[in-house]
A and B are shown apart, each in its own frame.
Chain A
């Protein structure tokens, strides 16, 4: 299985801050990576696919990119509704696997 490792596991930030989360795959996955947002008691929500493509309806403050072996999710200016847990998922090879999550908390 392809292992997905996210960092950090949690981050404390304030409204307006720029937040960056990193995900690394245990082997090459091209750009086949998606990012999800999950709020307590709700299902994950797809934010970004193909490493950098924004899903319909997702605010433009969210962005994704690939740099070498690392994938990053950036929230350019954190809003109150962005406090949540974020997961990456590889879509390159079965079985589909997820990162362990990064919790974005209020500072």
Chain B
């Protein structure tokens, strides 16, 4: 299994943009995985945000799609997430994870806490 490590600012101002990266080690981001972002907040539990295949095919949660962009950087072997117009409701621990069809999320990063506050 691959190892995943999220990074990014822990504090984002309301109406700002949240930007996170996920470094992939022990495997290639060009492998046959769906690369996902999932977040967890006390109020909403676990929420799937988006996923991307190495080919560039993406799927988004319709509730977030208008504000979210997921991408891969093959040269850096990393996954990225951008979320615009954030509010306090976006405060959560953000995880990157691999998703195997018909299996589930089988590898997870350790998660990174993002707080939206002025």
What is the interface of chain A, defined by CB distance below 8 A to chain B?
1, 32, 34, 36, 42-46, 49-50, 55, 87, 89, 91, 94-101
**Is the Cβ of A43 less than 8 Å from the Cβ of B109?**
yes
A88 to B86 Cα, complex, angstroms: 28
B73: interface (CB < 8 Å): no
- Give the contact stretch, choosing among B14-22, B24-32, B40-48, B75-83: B40-48
Most chain A CB neighbours (cut-off 10 Å) among B101, B104, B106, B109: B104
A45 to B45 Cα, complex, angstroms: 15
Give 16 A-B pairs besides A49-B104, A95-B48 with Cβ atoms closer than 8 angstroms.
A1-B63, A34-B104, A36-B104, A42-B110, A43-B95, A43-B111, A44-B46, A44-B105, A45-B108, A49-B103, A89-B46, A89-B104, A91-B103, A94-B61, A98-B48, A101-B46
A29 to chain B minimum Cβ distance, whole angstroms, is: 12
**Is the Cβ of B102 less than 8 Å from the Cβ of A32?**
yes
**Is the Cβ of A55 less than 8 Å from the Cβ of B106?**
yes
What is the interface of chain B, defined by CB distance below 8 A to chain A?
45-48, 59-63, 95, 97, 99, 101-106, 108-111
Chain A residue contacts of B99, Cβ below 8 A: 96
Closest to B64 in A: A95
A44 to B46 Cα, complex, angstroms: 10
Q: A43-B95, A43-B108, A44-B108 are in contact. Are A91 and B61 (CB under 8 A)?
A: no
A87 to B105 Cα, complex, angstroms: 12
**Is the Cβ of A50 less than 8 Å from the Cβ of B48?**
no
**Is the Cβ of B103 less than 8 Å from the Cβ of A98?**
no
A99 to chain B minimum Cβ distance, whole angstroms, is: 8
**Is the Cβ of B103 less than 8 Å from the Cβ of A89?**
no
Q: A43-B111, A45-B108 are in contact. Are A91 and B102 (CB under 8 A)?
A: yes
**Is the Cβ of B61 less than 8 Å from the Cβ of A95?**
yes
Chain B residue contacts of A89, Cβ below 8 A: 46, 104-105
Chain A residue contacts of B109, Cβ below 8 A: 43
A2 to B110 Cα, complex, angstroms: 27
Closest to A32 in B: B102
